[in-house]
Structure 1
Amino acid sequence: MNRILILMLGCAFWSGLYGQTPFDFDEQSILPGTKRHFTINISDGQNQTFVPITVFHGKENGAVLGITAGVHGYEYAPILAGQELINKIDPLELTGTVILVQAANVGSFLGRSPYINPMDKKNLNRSFPGNPNGTITERIANFISEKIIPRCNYFVDMHSGDAPEDLRPYVAYYQHDEKPGISAKGREIAMNLGFDHIIVLKTTEKDYMKQGLPSLYCSAEAFKRGIPAADIECGRLGMVEERFVEKIIEGVGSLLNYLQMTPGVPMPSKGIAFIEERFYITSDHTGLFYPLKTGGAFVRKGMKIGYITDFFNKTIKEVYAENSGIILYMLGTPPVNEGETLAAIGIVD
């Protein structure tokens, strides 16, 4: 009884001092105007990993923004942006709360493994909402789905071009005909992240949006739960390039301004190009791919964008753009397997 009374008095004290009460996370309380780091240990009985998380709790009551980085551990730009955000987000100037997952897939990161977690060979961004009794990747997805996403009013999942992907920066948001309000808010989030190309993820007919079926993707899980969500895609070929790290940091800062969580004016891009249709070119051969274009290039239908050779340097396939548009990403390294995506082309409005 005395412990409850002390807790109530403590909450009243902090509420009177700063305008809001402490934020509870992982059975700990983060005081207003402070930040705290968490190491969440996850095990499936055979494999063990951890999820590093930083919670920034502002002085005043406001929205909760969830941000994930490193769902794919070889996508370094968002992970390094998250590291810098530790010092750039000042909880003394923050209204509301930011929950930042620094690296969701530490196994993939430490194992330098594109796409999959080497512990169980599963793709975390195809594993949501996860399974509390599943493999290590499924348990990570379950933790994020049950302990992070439900706490949020808004959600952003940060990615970049994985090891073989030559990607041009863009953001994406979810649109669903039966979720007009959430869709519209997601669009506003995307527009205030500071990127000049925005993909509209039309999900009305997608199976992963149907009740009883898995959402698969991290941000799709948030959207499916009624939380406006957007993706950042910034960085390429699994490289660390400071310009892309900075662009992600600036985008998060602009979004915090837009959500009135930090003082300042958001910096939406001018002349935003919306992309509602995408087309994929898939390889029907295994061998070596030689790209003739790069991510971000504009191509016309019928334009040659690359070719495939066998292992004796004989050309076995010339690859042509099947539609006119902008290359969102394309295979930028030589190895290619039958069935893999060679390029994604977006049709710009």
Structure 2
Amino acid sequence: MTKTTDKRPTSAFTAIDFDRPGRQIGHVMFPHSPHEDAWGVTPVPIAVIANGTGPTVILEGGNHGDEYEGPIVIGELTRELDPKEIQGRLILMPSNNVHAARAAQRTSPVDGLNYNRTFPGDPYGSITEQISAYITDYIFPLGDAFLDLHSGGSSLDILPSAIIEPTLDAALAARNTAAARAFDSPNTVVIGNLGDPRTATATACRAGLTTIGTEMGGGGRVSIDALALCRRGVRNVLAHLGVIDPKHRTVENPEGRTFELKGTAAYVYAGTDGIFEPFHKLGARVSVGQPAGRVHAIWKPSEAPEVVHYGCDGIVFAHRQPGRVEPGNCCAVVAAPI
């Protein structure tokens, strides 16, 4: 399905023909003129696999450059999926925050921006803003559904989960929830990013796309278990959406749990700098007011560590990784059962 939208002008260009059947692999080129390359471009990888009639599903990886399971899975689909296996169209973008991905950083080393806090972008802003503007204006209007595959990155270790993007549109909320549950993760979590509208998933929802995300492990590494879950879950969602044969859908977690991050109470922050010592493992049940851990100023042995506390009941969804923290760093996250 191709939707109409008021597209802002862009200097980006691509040889990809989004309406052509078969498999195409290429780049979207963003003119980039830094000191070392007067007339260069930033190439953002993209692939399109299309066949027959059916929905268009956009898959994004590399939203943050230190999150790896999603990009691996999208790359595998790009190489391995036979166009004859699908009905519809897949737009596969494994490394949208491409400078950050090459540097293994959350934010772009070119302009210092977090791509996932730049939407709807600026077609003539910095490179990161240009990429998010292109996704907003030229990619999302082509789609019916959006899968944004995240992990915890180098600063968090997260319980692998499918993520529901909240929306006030009741029909869209139902579609988002159904797609997230089709992923078949042991845990499904509603995350609204404290209402921040500048994320890719929030923008996709405003465009009317069925939208889900993931959080697959983290700690700046590739988790064997999370990667296996991501491989299976993505195919489950594609089968749920009707793009691939339902025979590819497998159910291992029919009684999967659903949680939500309940605003600011979900987050435990460091009040001082030091080393964070968590008191509970991921998945542990905890309660409001319970000590979550302590921050040790190991260079000040006469100082007692700062004890930090949980702000709500639930399970430990994420831990700080690595241990070194500064005031305001997120030390732990609690997901409350729905």
**TM-score bracket, shorter-length normalisation:** 0.7 to 0.9
Matches within 5 A, 1:37-116: 37-46=25-34, 48-58=41-51, 60-113=52-105, 115-116=106-107
Q: Does 2:154 align with 1:154?
A: no
- The answer on whether the counterparts of 2:44 and 2:96 sit within 8 Å (CA) in structure 1 is yes
Q: Does 2:189 align with 1:199?
A: yes
Q: Match for 2:173: what amino acid?
A: S
Q: Does 2:308 align with 1:319?
A: yes
Q: Match for 1:291: what amino acid?
A: P
Aligned to 1:255: 237
CA distance in 2 between partners of 1:216 and 1:320 (Å): 29
Aligned to 2:259: 275
SS at 2:30 equivalent: strand
- The answer on whether the counterparts of 1:288 and 1:308 sit within 8 Å (CA) in structure 2 is yes
Residue of structure 2 aligned with 1:236, choices 180, 195, 218: 218
CA distance in 1 between partners of 2:111 and 2:62 (Å): 17
Q: Match for 2:256: what amino acid?
A: I
1:192-237 CA-to-partner distances (Å, cap 9, x unmatched) read 011122223469x94x5xxxxxx31011111011112111111210
Residue of structure 1 aligned with 2:282, choices 276, 295, 303: 295
- The answer on whether the counterparts of 1:286 and 1:338 sit within 8 Å (CA) in structure 2 is yes
- The answer on whether the counterparts of 1:44 and 1:135 sit within 8 Å (CA) in structure 2 is no
1:265-313 CA-to-partner distances (Å, cap 9, x unmatched) read 4335311222234311111111221223333332234443321111415
Q: Match for 1:193: what amino acid?
A: F
SS at 1:330 equivalent: strand
CA distance in 1 between partners of 2:16 and 2:23 (Å): 15
Aligned to 1:223: 205
Q: Does 2:129 align with 1:138?
A: yes
- The answer on whether the counterparts of 1:81 and 1:246 sit within 8 Å (CA) in structure 2 is no
| CA deviation after TM superposition for structure 1 residue 316, in Å | 2.6
Closer, same or farther: CA 26–184 of 1 in aligned 2, 3 Å:
farther
Name which of structure 1's ranges 278-287 and 41-50 shifts more when overlaid on structure 2: 41-50
Residue of structure 2 aligned with 1:120, choices 111, 116, 126: 111
| CA deviation after TM superposition for structure 1 residue 27, in Å | 5.4
Once superposed, what is the RMSD of the aligned Cα atoms? 2.1
- The answer on whether the counterparts of 1:127 and 1:217 sit within 8 Å (CA) in structure 2 is yes
Residue of structure 1 aligned with 2:330, choices 317, 333, 341: 341
CA distance in 2 between partners of 1:40 and 1:176 (Å): 30
- The answer on whether the counterparts of 2:184 and 2:256 sit within 8 Å (CA) in structure 1 is no
SS at 1:296 equivalent: coil
CA distance in 1 between partners of 2:238 and 2:225 (Å): 20
Closer, same or farther: CA 183–29 of 1 in aligned 2, 3 Å:
closer
Q: Match for 2:310: what amino acid?
A: A
Residue of structure 1 aligned with 2:165, choices 174, 180, 187: 174
- The answer on whether the counterparts of 1:286 and 1:336 sit within 8 Å (CA) in structure 2 is yes
CA distance in 1 between partners of 2:271 and 2:98 (Å): 33
How many aligned residue pairs are there? Answer: 313
Q: Match for 2:254: what amino acid?
A: K
Aligned to 1:8: none
1:235-259 CA-to-partner distances (Å, cap 9, x unmatched) read 2101012221221111111111111
| CA deviation after TM superposition for structure 1 residue 157, in Å | 0.5
CA distance in 2 between partners of 1:108 and 1:249 (Å): 23
Unaligned runs of 5+ in 2: 1-13, 36-40
CA distance in 1 between partners of 2:322 and 2:261 (Å): 25
CA distance in 1 between partners of 2:289 and 2:133 (Å): 44
SS at 2:129 equivalent: helix
Q: Match for 1:54: what amino acid?
A: A
TM-score scaled by structure 2?
0.86
Aligned to 1:18: none
SS at 2:311 equivalent: coil
